[in-house]
Amino acid sequence: MNFIYFLFAFLVGIATSVQSGVNSQLRQMMAHPVLAALISFGSGFLVLIVMSLIFRAPLPAWENLREISWWKWTGGLLGAIYVTTVIITVPRIGAGNLLSISVAGQLLAAVILDHYGLLGFKEHGLTVWRLLGVLLIVLGVVLVVKN
């Protein structure tokens, strides 16, 4: 496997922790979690516009957009729910608790998606090792959350 992708995944994990704190501080300044999420997504949207222009990403034809299944448009919705939930939750339970519980949920969902090859993922059957990995993550959550 290509090491660079593992490095990117690790760095994105670090960025997620930092993003939680940044957005939490933004919420304090805006006095509302939805407004903070809107600003967060708005700045991200502007960066993506600039990147699209720099990399000259071609706009799809209208016909192609109309052929996209309704559920494939829900990624932004799920991202908005995630960011808003983080903004609301992180000041109350802390970054470590939030992210460890979140990672456990992500891993459980990912293992199920991989096992059945759902949403276009390559099938990776549930093995004893994968199940043990999930259980160890859950145990790690218990240890992180325990005061």
pLDDT in tens, 28-73: 999 999 999 999 999 999 999 999 999 999 989 999 999 999 999 9
Q: Give one DSSP letter per residue of the chain, joined into a string.
A: --HHHHHHHHHHHHHHHHHHHHHHHHHHHHT-HHHHHHHHHHHHHHHHHHHHHHTTPPPPPHHHHHTS-GGGGTHHHHHHHHHHHHHHHHHHH-HHHHHHHHHHHHHHHHHHHHHHTGGGPPP----HHHHHHHHHHHHHHHHHH--
pLDDT in tens, 101-138: 999 999 999 999 999 999 999 999 999 999 999 999 99
